[in-house]
Each structure stands twice: as structure tokens, then as C-alpha cells.
Structure 1
Amino acid sequence: MVPSLPLVLVHGIRLNRAAWTEVVEHLPAGRPAVAVDLPGHGARRGERFSFEAAADVLGEAVDSVGGRALVVGHSLGGYAAMAFAAREPRRVAALVVAGATAVPTRSGTAPFLVAHRALSGWADGGERVSARVLRAALPRRTADAVARAGIASEVIPDAVAALRAQRPLDRLAAYPGPVRFVNGRFDHLRADERRFLGAATRGSVVVDPRGGHYLPMTRPRSFVRELEAFAATGIRG
């Protein structure tokens, strides 16, 4: 990687910074990295989610590691990372976007609202059933860490409204730096991968043949290898 270039890691919808637990463990020794909680998630539960508020959080994180970073976003975090890069391009040395190459549409985001209505019927907001689902999808240690920090199903309506209102291809086109899309072959959110690649000024894509939507969490060693390869060949300073 570029010497001393820090990472800012941005999680997906309902999760929290603990989702990056095993990715951080596989980073090279001495690589600075900070994982954030998006508004409405983790330690920020109760805050309203918007992409402007998310960009403020990312700005604070970038400042905490020296003012410039490689920003890595998964799912909702990928859309947040693109929005931040469009707003603050000088502070983003490069972007890695995983599981966020589908243009959010009403039909595409509707299942999240259906899930929210179902989860809201539980006394705990569906937190226990969500934890069971995560344990089936993610490595147990990561799933347990995320569950301990809280699974924020209540943020879904705000997140869906924000996704529907934004124009991610325009945000992406506004950022002049290098972008690497890292997707799992079986990820449903790579439907518009080629459109996102075409919108990026300096874009490239890698598809993990064994990965799904939760690629960074389920295959952390492989994901970190892609981060290292990208930073070694695609970023200059």
C-alpha cells in the first residue's frame, strides 16, 4: 500500500463498525484504520440517517487519521462513501466500493421496507431474529460483535428514503480520483456494475468468484488482498 495511507471503513445498513472486525485484523501491521458508525447505527443509534449527516461523520474520521484517506464502503456505506467523495474529493485519496453498484429504485429498495414492517412487530424491534440471521450469514465472531453493538432495524425508513433521493452515478462522476469496485459474484447489488464503472473517472472492478453481498465480512483475507493490490497499483500518494 501507499506508505502510511490510512483507511476509513464504512459499514452497511443496520450494521455497525464491528462489521469490520476481521478485515482490520488482516490488515498489514502498522496500517492506520478507523471504522465508523454511520448516523442511526451502533453508537449513533437514535440519530437520523442522511447522506449529508453520513458525510459529516466520514469527514470527522478522515480528520482523525490525518486529513486524507482511502475510504472503503460496503453496501449503504459504499453509497455514503461515494457521496462523501463527491463532496470532499481532496480528502479522499481513493475509494473502494463493495456491494453498492445498483442504482437504488423504489422496487429495488421496497424489500427493506417490508422487512422493517415485519421486524417492527417484535417487542425488541426484531433484534434477536436479526442476530440469528446475521449468525447464519457472517462468521460467528463478526456476527456476535455486530449484535453486541446493536442491529439498527429502526434506521431502515430513513436509509431507504435517502437512497431513493440520491443519484449515486452523479456522485461517482463528480469524484476525480481512483475507484475500485470489489463485488462478490453472487451479490444482488452488482446489477448496475457496468454503469457504475462507466461513471467513474478512474474506475476498475474486481469480482470475487466465491463471494456474495457480505464479501468483506465473509472473505476478509481475500478482501484485504484486493485493498492492498489496489493501493499498491492504483493510488499515487
Structure 2
Amino acid sequence: MPQLEVDGAALTYDDEGPRDGDGVPLVFVHGWMANRHRWDHQVEHFAERRRVIRFDLRGHGESGGAGVKTVGELARDLLALLDHLGVERFVPVGHSMGGMIAQTVALSHPERVERMVLVGSIGRMTYSRGRGLLMGASTLVPFKLFVAANIQRAFAPGYPSEEIRAYVEASADTPREVVRTLYGAMRAFDVLDRVGQIQAPTLMIHGYYDIQLPVRQMLRMAKAYPDATVRILDAGHELPVEKPAELTAAIDAFVSVRSA
């Protein structure tokens, strides 16, 4: 896989699809403790007719690096990669923390964002007491047990346990330092009072059973957006893999609309 060195981190990425395809490139950004393969279904679908880019965030998947302190730093990694690839205008598709990165870019570089898709993401982190206790226990229990507790609660009831175990294994490869530091970065993330400045048409897709980032938090954010479309799917937090076909179809319908 190709890599780009950015501030001491080798970022692994995929750049697929026709350069002269339909519309500006789609750029898929995964979330906390995940990797670029969360988007396999979507990339396979869209790369047939348009340019599609995805990458492993620093410290995740096949990318190196650690020490990142803020969502803004992850957004700079994304922009550095796009500059390297010669991509000026694009559609960010961000899941969870990836949606926070997308919103950060939309606020700092609005001229580069044609449309935006937020999947299971919000503009201000508000954690339940239970989630706080879980994070507090992260230094007291084996790391893999902590990861398993977080990943299992991300899926809707009834999702196959053997598939959840596979995601636990993949997520446990994320270094503990990266996991804890980026948890802090997400807790500090707050653009709710600024999202009214985002003029790019935005699709917000959320799982009805999402207890990681509850749907009511997304709806609070949606009210502040000038141009937001909301879709609720019968799923938990991991929409790209829980409902891949439905998510892909919703994104396709949204990005196929021609801007005025």
C-alpha cells in the first residue's frame, strides 16, 4: 500500500477509481480504534465510477505515529494527504471521530468541501456516566478487555457475536496510548456553536440503537446546520459494517445530486 510521511507518521492510504469519473473525489475517514477497511463496501461500490480515497489515521491500522493530541491535528493529516494527491475539492465521508475530522475541515477550509456525509457523528461530545466509568477503568483492566467492552456496545442487539470478535481483534491492535489520547481529543471536541457556519450540504446518517453517540445528540446538531438531511437506520454505531448496503445507497443518492 502507498504511504505518505506526515510529521513523523507514515500514513497508509488507498487511492482508487477513475480520475475523470463522476464528481469530485469521495474521501472516507474512519473512526476511533478502527481502520480504513471499515469502508470496504462503500469503496468497492463507488470506485467503479469515481475517485475514492481512504487512509488509516495515524496510530491506526497500517499507519504509524502517535502523540496526536487533537482532532485538528488529524484534520491536518487529511489535508496533507489530499495536497499530496492533488485533490482540492472533495466530499468527506466521516464515521464517528472521522465525522469530527470532516467537520473540522469544513470549518477551516470551506472552499474545499463540496458536500459532507457524517455517519454516526456529532458536534459536541457528551458522555454518559457509564462511558466515563468505562474509560476510567481502562488503566485497571487488560487492554483487550477494555477494547472488547467498547466495541461490543457499539453494535445493535443481535449483531453476530463472531463478527464482533473480529472487530475486537482488529481494534486491539491500536496502541493503548493512541486510544487514550484520542479519547481525550474527542472529549475536548466541540464545534456545536460553530456548525451554523458550514454551508456545504450535509447528510447525517445515524443508527437508532447507537448508544456510543446517541441519536438525540446528532439531532441537536442537525438543527444548527443550514443545509442538513437526516437519515436514521436500524443499526447501532457501526453503520458501515452493520448496514453496509443501506449506508452505501444513502450516500450514493446524496452525492449524486448535482450542486446548483
TM over 0.5: yes
Paired AA for residue 144 in structure 2: G
1:135-192 deviations in whole A, cap 9, x for unaligned?
A: 9768849946982993344323322322232323134223211111011111122222
- The aligned length equals 230
Unaligned runs of 5+ in 1: none
Are the aligned partners of 2:93 and 2:99 in contact in 1 as well (CA < 8 Å)?
A: yes
Paired AA for residue 173 in structure 2: G
Are the aligned partners of 1:7 and 1:32 in contact in 2 as well (CA < 8 Å)?
A: yes
1:126 corresponds in structure 2 to 144
Corresponding residue SS for 1:59: helix
Paired AA for residue 187 in structure 1: D
Identity of aligned residues (%): 28
1:72-126 deviations in whole A, cap 9, x for unaligned?
A: 11111111111121111111111111111373135465255235325xx43xx42
Corresponding residue SS for 1:19: helix
Aligned match for 1:88, one of 105, 109, 119? 109
Corresponding residue SS for 1:206: strand
The question of 1:51 aligning with 2:71 is answered yes
The question of 1:193 aligning with 2:218 is answered yes
1:230 corresponds in structure 2 to 254
Cα distance 1:166–1:221, how it changes in 2: closer, same or farther (>3 A)?
Answer: same
Are the aligned partners of 2:106 and 2:113 in contact in 1 as well (CA < 8 Å)?
A: yes
Corresponding residue SS for 2:34: coil
The question of 1:184 aligning with 2:207 is answered yes
Cα distance 1:96–1:139, how it changes in 2: closer, same or farther (>3 A)?
Answer: farther
Cα distance 1:213–1:106, how it changes in 2: closer, same or farther (>3 A)?
Answer: closer
Structure 2: distance between partners of 1:18 and 1:149 = 15
Instruction: For residue 27 of structure 1, report the CA deviation from its aligned partner.
Output: 2.4
Aligned match for 2:227, one of 177, 185, 202? 202
Correspondence 1:24-35 to 2 at 5 A: 24-27=43-46, 29-35=48-54
Paired AA for residue 210 in structure 2: D
More helix by share: 1
CA RMSD across the alignment: 3.3
Structure 1: distance between partners of 2:162 and 2:45 = 14
Paired AA for residue 26 in structure 1: H
Are the aligned partners of 1:180 and 1:204 in contact in 2 as well (CA < 8 Å)?
A: yes
The question of 1:5 aligning with 2:18 is answered no
Corresponding residue SS for 2:117: strand
Are the aligned partners of 1:215 and 1:223 in contact in 2 as well (CA < 8 Å)?
A: yes
1:16 corresponds in structure 2 to 35
Corresponding residue SS for 2:53: strand
Q: RCO higher in 1 or 2 (8 Å CA, sep ≥ 6)? A: 1
